[in-house]
Amino acid sequence: MLYYLKLTRESEYRIERVLYRQGKIVGGVYVGRGQEAIGVGSAIQLAEGDVALPSHRDFSSFVIRGVPLGQIFANWMGRGTGPTRGRENTLHIGNLKLGLIPIVSPLGDTLPVACGVALTFQQRRRKNVAVVHFGEGTTSRGDVHEAMNLAAVMKLAVVFICNNNAYAYSTPTERQYTVRDLSVRGPAYGMPGVTIDGNNVLAVYGAVQKAIALGRAGGGPSFIECKTFRMTGHSAHDAAEYVPKELLEQEARKDPILRLEKVMLERQLLTREGLVEMERRIHKEIDEAVAYADAQPLPEGATAVKGVYCGPDCWWKS
Amino acid sequence: MPTRTYLEAIRQGIWEEMERDPSVFLLGEDIGAYGGAFKVTEGMLEKFGEDRVIDTPISESAIVGAAVGAALMGMRPVVEMQFMDFIACGFDQIVNMAAKIHYRWGPAVPLVIRGPSGAGVHGGPYHSQSNEMWFVHTPGLKVVAPSTAYDAKGLIKASIRDDNPVIFYEHKFLYRRIKDEVPDDDYVVPLGKAAVRREGSDIAVITYGAMVWTALDAAKELEKEGIALEVVDLRTLVPYDEDAVLRSVRKCNKVILLHEDTRTGGMAGELAALIAERAFDDLDGPIVRVTAPDTPVPFSPPLEEYFLPNARKVVEAARQLAAY
């Protein structure tokens, strides 16, 4: 888990602080600095046949489910050989073989889709689960209500994970909802709801493990609120001056990666040398992935009109 | 050959597809024990069971979203909108999720969203709309609007077999009012092929849905005056049969574009542009639109009658155009 946490942090650093500034990434840049534990602690325990519907701040889910790092960078850079052939940006990367369904920018739309995925599991008597991530801002959308209610009524194996990072763009939680913990909404729909420390990867792992077990056993959906903090702007162009400095400093001390490192070093599950070696390996992997992506061509402009419809002569198969 | 109503033909088409393909299933409000607000899915719960005929909470967005999720997993969901007016509640899932997935990352999204549309039954503003153009304007969707019972069966079957999201507009006025010969055979009517419902040489009327019957009524009336209408039924709006439209325009040299939908941004405008671009030299008169006015659909009978195009309005437009 430490490896994926660090790989995610470093990859997103490259994207937000290096490649974006070099002009190699056009368009918006949204990263999950500070909240990596949620994606890692959940995606790492998915089994074959399970489906993840990560948010735009869950970089690790894509790596863990098996999208090659170079392909992820190629997508960010709009390359024609990337997973979306330049049609989509950031982490809007789907791959059904890997059990990955990406967000659309009207966030919250993936929650009903997760219900449909779990409905198919139910119809086919499979013990798989759908795990969907979304922010606390998204919980204000009607689709979240509709999906949570539908999942509860139909007893669908969906794990609803709210990455509560305290700000929806510039809007703090008190302008988004009035309850202290969003997990009260779980029981309101008739499903378990818990609020956990989202910066503790072991706590995330434990809560998601329980929810997955319930789903596999036919016990229906669960709601997990992971409290974390967005240690960057909404996107790369946002300086986030609306976040008080003291708050940011206070939250920085809860960094999920440093916390796991500390625990592992204390319990002698990791040595200093091991850590350095891991970091070296991560840097090398990212260097190679960026080099691969940067060598990929941009798409031909005229391909913009291809593959609008699926049919026997499907462009995507070419 | 057995005769069936438009509604029975749709039911038979869905029924046959469910028997043929276990991945086809139904999702909607009151479609199970109740059999749907108009009874299109009557008897299906008993026949196919709760796994395949699923009553949902009143959540159009979640219904469409769930259908997308199931379609991605290899199922072929058929969603019922209780009235097509309520499709607006699922709009985002249709235009931002379903329509764009194939373009964005490649998978097939085989799903059908079907339901009753159209006016003429004093349903008022929320049980009468013809809102097909919302979806005609969204690349990635197909849009179907049958006018006959034969087509209703063949087109619903083709729509269920299609690998794209299809919005299927049933006209509620036709449900039990028209009946025609519908074979028990397994046939499909391919999407994108228009039908000439009546041959004529003076004015081509291009239309779809219930207005096909209005055009045919007008044609009978005008025949007495020596004006021969050709009536072209588009059958599907996306994709639509450009060749058939142009063929009839080139044959008649005059054209009326007729629809029940409101005027601005309606299908007639799109067809007028096509004709102006590709058949300008073939025209012997102005392109004429007969449509509903740009208002919501009113409730009270005199208001609704004023709102709706009818045979008299088509006859008047045709007389003027014939004299041009």
DSSP-derived secondary structure for B132-174: THHHHTSTT-EEE---SHHHHHHHHHHHHHSSSEEEEEEETTT
Q: Comparing C-alpha atoms, which of B38, B55, B110, B107 is closest to residue B78?
A: B110
Query: Same domain for B23 and B97?
Result: yes
Contact at CB, A116 and B104, closer than 8 angstroms: no
Would you write out chain A's pLDDT as a tens digit for each of its 318 residues?
999 999 999 999 999 999 999 999 988 899 999 999 999 999 999 999 999 999 999 999 999 999 999 999 999 999 999 999 999 999 999 999 999 999 999 999 999 999 999 999 999 999 999 999 999 999 999 999 999 999 999 999 999 999 999 999 999 999 999 999 999 999 999 999 999 999 999 999 999 999 999 999 999 999 999 999 999 999 989 999 999 999 999 999 999 999 999 999 999 999 999 999 999 999 999 999 999 999 999 999 999 999 999 998 899 988
Tell if the CB–CB gap between A310 and B164 is shorter than 8 Å. yes
- Residue B54 with chain A: CB contacts under 8 Å: 119, 154
The verdict on whether A242 is a catalytic residue reads: yes
Across A284-308, b (16+ Cβ under 10 Å) vs e yields ebbeebbebbeebeebeeeeeebbe
Chain B residue whose CA is closest to A87: B104
Q: How far is B239 from chain A (nearest CA, A)?
A: 10
Nearest to A150 among B51, B59, B72 (CB): B59
The verdict on residue B208 lying in a domain is yes
Whether this model's pTM surpasses 0.95: yes
Rounded to two decimals, the ipTM of the complex is 0.96
Q: Is the dihedral of CA A207, A209, A214, A215 positive or negative?
A: positive
The token duo for B55 is 């009553």
Q: How many domains does chain B have?
A: 2
Cβ B61–A112 below 8 Å, yes or no? yes
CB pairs under 8 A between A and B: 140
3-state secondary structure of B302: helix
Same domain, B156 and B221: no
The gap between the terminal CA atoms of chain B, to the nearest Å, is: 44
Q: How close is the nearest chain B Cα to the Cα of A259, in Å?
A: 37
- Beta carbons of B57 and A118 less than 8 Å apart: no
Cβ neighbours of B113 in A, within 8 Å = none
Determine, for residues B68 and A113 on separate chains, whether the beta-carbon distance falls below 8 Å: yes
Which residue in A64, A49, A52 sits closest to A5, CA to CA? A64
Q: Are residues B95 and B29 in the same domain?
A: yes
Is B141 a domain residue? yes
Q: From the CA of B79, how many Å to the nearest CA of chain A?
A: 12
Would you state the pLDDT for residue A8?
A: 98
Taking only the tens place, the pLDDT of each residue in A273-312 is: 999 999 999 999 999 999 999 999 999 999 999 999 999 8
The pLDDT value recorded for residue A285 is 98
Q: Domain with B249 in it: what CATH number?
A: 3.40.50.920
DSSP strand pairing (B179-181 vs A130-135): unpaired
> Looking at the partner chain, which of A88, A308, A311 has a beta carbon nearest the beta carbon of B140?
A308
Q: How far is A56 from chain B (nearest CA, A)?
A: 15
Q: Do B65 and A115 touch (CB under 8 A)?
A: yes
pLDDT in tens, B113-167: 999 999 999 999 999 999 999 999 999 999 999 999 999 999 999 999 999 999 9
- Using DSSP, state whether A266 is helix, strand or coil: helix
B49: pLDDT confidence band, cut at 50, 70 and 90?
Answer: very high
Nearest beta carbon to residue B93 from set A83, A105, A109: A109
pLDDT beyond 90 at B18: yes
Residue from the list B64, B71, B104 with its beta carbon closest to the beta carbon of A88? B104
pLDDT of residue B203: 98
| Out of B64, B67, B96, closest to residue A106 by CB | B96
Say yes or no: B171 and B83 in one domain: yes
Residue B188 lies in a domain: no
Q: Which of B296, B206, B89, B71 is nearest to A115 (CA)?
A: B71
Instruction: Report the C-alpha gap between B315 and B227 in whole angstroms.
Output: 10
Closest CA to B114 of B72, B69, B83, B149: B83
Hey, of A310, A314, A316, which one would you mutate to test binding to chain B, going by the most B CBs within 10 A of its CB?
A310
Residues of chain A neighbouring B63 (CB-CB closer than 8 A): 112, 150
Give burial (CB, 10 Å; 0-12/13-18/19+) of A265.
Answer: middle
Q: Is the dihedral angle over the CA atoms B83, B84, B90, B93 positive or is it negative?
A: positive
Q: Is residue B241 part of a domain?
A: yes
B42 lies in some domain: yes
Which residue of chain B is at minimal alpha-carbon distance from A309? B140
Q: Is the CA virtual torsion B64, B67, B72, B77 positive or negative?
A: negative
**Whole-number pLDDT of residue B48:** 98
Residues of B in contact with A87 (CB under 8 A): 103-105
| Cβ-proximal residues to B156 (8 Å cutoff; 6+ apart), any chain | B10, B13, B14, B17, B112, B114, B146, B168
SS3 of chain A: helix, strand, coil, percent, to 5: 45, 10, 45
Maximum separation of any 2 CA atoms in chain A, in Å: 59
Q: How far is residue B17 from each of residues B77, B145, B154, measured CA to CA in Å? A: 11, 19, 11
**pLDDT value, residue A318:** 84
Chain A residue nearest residue B163, CA to CA: A310
Cα separation, B306 vs B171, in Å, equals 19
Interchain pair A147, B51: CB under 8 A: no
C-alpha distance from B319 to closest chain A C-alpha (Å):
41
Instruction: Name the catalytic one among B127, B137, B171, B259.
Output: B127
- Whether B89 and B229 map to the same domain: the answer is no
Angstroms from A43 CA to nearest CA on chain B: 19
**Token pair of B270 as six digits:** 């799109």
Q: Are B29 and B176 in a shared domain?
A: yes
Looking at residue B85, which CATH number applies to its domain? 3.40.50.970
Nearest to A150 among B66, B93, B109 (CB): B66
C-alpha distances in angstroms, B11 versus A36, A120, B14, B40, B161?
A: 50, 23, 5, 5, 16
DSSP-H helix ranges across chain B = 6-20, 44-48, 60-72, 91-92, 99-105, 133-136, 149-161, 211-223, 242-252, 267-278, 301-307, 311-322
Tokens representing residue B181 in the block: 């010969």
**Partners of residue B181 on adjacent β-strands:** B3
3-state secondary structure of A97: coil
Nearest to B80 by CA among B118, B136, B30: B30
* Shortest Cα–Cα distance, A50 to chain B (Å): 11
Q: Is residue B186 part of a domain?
A: no
Query: B226: how many CB neighbours lie within 10 A of its CB?
Result: 8
Region B287-301: what's the mean pLDDT?
98
Same domain, B126 and B7: yes
pLDDT at residue B252 in the model: 98
Task: Report yes or no: B189 and B10 within 8 Å, Cβ to Cβ.
Answer: no
Tokens of A83: 């997973």
Cβ–Cβ below 8 Å for B69 and A118? yes
Q: CA dist A57 to A137, A229, A232, Å?
A: 13, 12, 11
Contact assessment for residue B98 and residue B140, using Cβ atoms and an 8 Å cutoff = yes
pLDDT above 90: residue B179: yes
Strands B76-80 and B24-28: what pairing? parallel
Q: What span, in angstroms and rounded, lies between the C-alpha atoms of B212 and B58? A: 33
For range B207-213, the mean pLDDT? 98
Q: In the numeric block, which tokens belong to residue A144?
A: 């979240």
**CATH assignment, A2-20+29-299:** 3.40.50.970
Of A116, A307, A310, the CB nearest to B69: A116
Give me the domain span that covers residue B225: 195-322
Tell if the CB–CB gap between A104 and B25 is shorter than 8 Å.
Answer: no
- Tell me if residue B66 falls in helix, strand or coil: helix
Residues of A in contact with B164 (CB under 8 A): 309-311
Q: For position A26, what pLDDT does the model report?
A: 82
* Closest C-alpha among A181, A226, A161 to residue A199: A226
Domain boundaries, chain A: 2-20+29-299
Task: Supply the pLDDT for residue A37.
Answer: 98
Do both B296 and B206 map to the same domain?
yes
Contacts (Cβ under 8 Å, ≥6 apart) of B59? A112, A146, A149, A150
Same domain, B108 and B46: yes
Q: Do B75 and A123 touch (CB under 8 A)?
A: yes
pLDDT of residue A295: 98
CA distances from B71 to A28, A55, B76 (A): 30, 21, 6
Whose structure tokens read 């931002």? B96
CA dihedral A105, A106, A110, A112 (to 10 degrees): -160
